[in-house]
Structure 1
Amino acid sequence: MLDDPERCYQASQSRDTRFDGWFFVGVLSTGIYCRPSCPAQTPKRENVRFYASAASAQQAGLRSCRRCRPDATPGSPEWNVRADVVARAMRLIRDGIVDREGVEGLARRLGYSVRQINRVVTAEIGTGPLALARAQRSQTARILLETTDLSITDVAFAAGFASVRQYNETIREVFADTPSGLRRRAPGSSVNNHPGRTIQTVHLRLPARRPFSSASVFHYLSARAAAGVESFEGSTYTRSLRLANGYCVASLTPDSADAGGPAFVEADLRLSDLRDLSTAVARCRQL
Structure 2
Amino acid sequence: MTTEDSRYEAVRSRDARFDGVFFFGVATTGIYCRPSCPAITPKRQNVSFFATAAAAQGAGFRACRRCRPDAVPGSADWNARADVVGRAVRLIGDGVVDREGVAGLAARLGYSARQVQRQLNAELGAGPIALARAQRGHTARVLLQTTSMQAAEIAFAAGFASVRQFNETIKEIYAATPTELRAGRPGRLPVAGRDGAAGVPLRLAYRGPYDTAQVFGFLAERAVAGVEEVTGEPGRRTYRRTLRLPHAPGVAEVAERAGTGGWLECSLHLGDLRDLTTATQRIRRLFDLDADPYAVAQRLSADPALAPLVAATPGLRAPGAADPEELALRAVLGDGLPLPEARHLAADLVAAHGEPLPEPSGGLTHLFPRPRDLTAAPGDLGIAVAPQRATAVRALAVALAGGSLRLDPGADRDEAERALLSLPGISTWTAGYIRMRALSDPDVLLDPALLLTLAPAHISRWRPWSSYATHYVWHAEG
CA shift in 2, pair 1:276/1:256, >3 Å? closer
Q: Does 1:5 align with 2:4?
A: yes
After TM superposition, the runs of 4+ consecutive aligned structure 1 residues lying more than 6 A away are: none
Q: Secondary structure at the match of 1:191?
A: coil
Structure 1 residue matching 2:39: 3-state secondary structure: coil
Could you say which residue in structure 2 is the equivalent of 1:174? Answer: 173
Deviation at 1:192?
Answer: 4.7
Q: Distance in 1 between matches of 2:127 and 2:99?
A: 16
Counterpart Cα distance in 1 of 2:107 and 2:198: 33
Query: Structure 1: which 5+ runs fail to align?
Result: none
Secondary structure (helix, strand or coil) at the match of 1:181 reads helix
Kept in 2: contact 1:200–1:272 (CA 8 A): no
TM norm structure 1: 0.93
Q: Report the alpha carbon displacement of residue 174 of structure 1 after superposing the two structures with TM.
A: 0.1
Q: 41-50 or 152-161: which moved more?
A: 152-161
CA contact (8 A) 1:24 1:35 kept: yes
Amino acid at match of 1:86: V
Tell me the alpha carbon deviations over residues 255-280 of structure 1, each in whole angstroms, 9 at most, x when there is no partner: 4466xxx4210101111111111111
Deviations 1:34-87 (A, max 9, x none): 011111111111111111111010000000000000101111112332211111
Counterpart code for 1:139: H
Match status 1:227 vs 2:225: yes
Deviation at 1:25, TM superposition (A): 1.3
Q: Return the structure number with greater strand share.
A: 1
Deviation at 1:225, TM superposition (A): 2.3
- C-alpha separation in 1, matches of 2:242 and 2:259: 26
Contact 1:255/1:264, CA 8 A, preserved across alignment? no
Q: CA deviation at 1:241?
A: 1.2
For 1:130, the equivalent position in structure 2 comes to 129
CA distance in 2, matches of 1:4, 1:217: 35
Structure 2 counterpart of 1:268, one-letter code: S
Q: Quick one: distance in 1 between partners of 2:259 and 2:276?
A: 25
Which residue is equivalent to 2:298?
A: none
State the shift of 1:219 in Å.
1.7
Q: Deviations over 1:178-203 (max 9, x none)?
A: 011111111446115548xxx97111
Mapping for residues 177-216 of structure 1, pairs under 5 Å: 177-188=176-187, 190-194=191-195, 201-216=199-214
TM-score, normalised to structure 2, is 0.57
Letter in 2 for 1:116: Q
Asked if the contact 1:200–1:271 (Cα under 8 Å) also holds between the matched residues in 2, the reply is no
* Residue identity opposite 1:245 in structure 2: H
Q: 1:80 to 1:227 in 2, by over 3 A?
A: farther
1:157 to partner: Cα distance: 1.7
How far did residue 145 of structure 1 move?
1.0
CA distance in 1, matches of 2:186, 2:39: 22
Q: Aligned-residue CA RMSD in angstroms? A: 1.7
Answer whether contact 1:191 1:203 (CA < 8 A) is retained: yes
Tell me which residue corresponds to 1:49.
48
CA distance in 2 between partners of 1:194 and 1:23 (Å): 37
> C-alpha separation between the residues in 1 aligned to 2:223 and 2:16?
31
Aligned partners of 1:16 and 1:247: how far apart in 2? 40
Q: Is it true that 1:272 corresponds to 2:253 in the alignment?
A: no
Contact 2:50 2:125 survives alignment (8 Å): yes
The letter for the 1-side match of 2:116 is I
Q: Secondary structure at the match of 2:115?
A: helix
- Does structure 1 retain, via aligned residues, the 8 Å contact 2:52–2:124? yes
Alpha-carbon separation, structure 2, partners of 1:100 and 1:194: 24
Contact 2:149 2:194 in 1 (8 A): no
Match of 2:255 in 1: 253
The separation in 2 between residues aligned to 1:266 and 1:74, in whole angstroms, is: 14
- Which aligned pairs between 1:79-90 and structure 2 lie closer than 5 A? 79-90=78-89
* Higher share of residues assigned helix: 2
Q: Does the CA contact (< 8 Å) of 1:107 and 1:114 recur in 2?
A: yes
Say whether 1:64 aligns with 2:63. Answer: yes
Partner of 2:115: 116
Q: Deviations over 1:93-129 (max 9, x none)?
A: 0110000100000000000000110011111100100
Deviates more, 1:53-62 or 1:151-160: 151-160
Report whether the alignment pairs 1:103 with 2:105.
Answer: no
Q: Alpha-carbon deviation of 1:6?
A: 0.8
Count the aligned residue pairs.
Answer: 280
Match of 1:243 in 2: 245
CA distance in 1, matches of 2:253, 2:183: 28
Identity %: 58
Distance (Å, rounded) in 1 between the aligned partners of 2:270 and 2:153: 15
Q: Secondary structure at the match of 2:142?
A: helix
Contact 2:194 2:200 in 1 (8 A): no
Deviations 1:6-54 (A, max 9, x none): 1111111111211111111111111001011111111111111111111
Corresponding residue of 1:40 = 39
Q: Which residue identity is paired with 1:59?
A: G
| Alpha-carbon offset, residue 224 of structure 1 | 2.5
Shift of 1:136: 0.6
How much has 1:91 moved relative to structure 2? 0.6
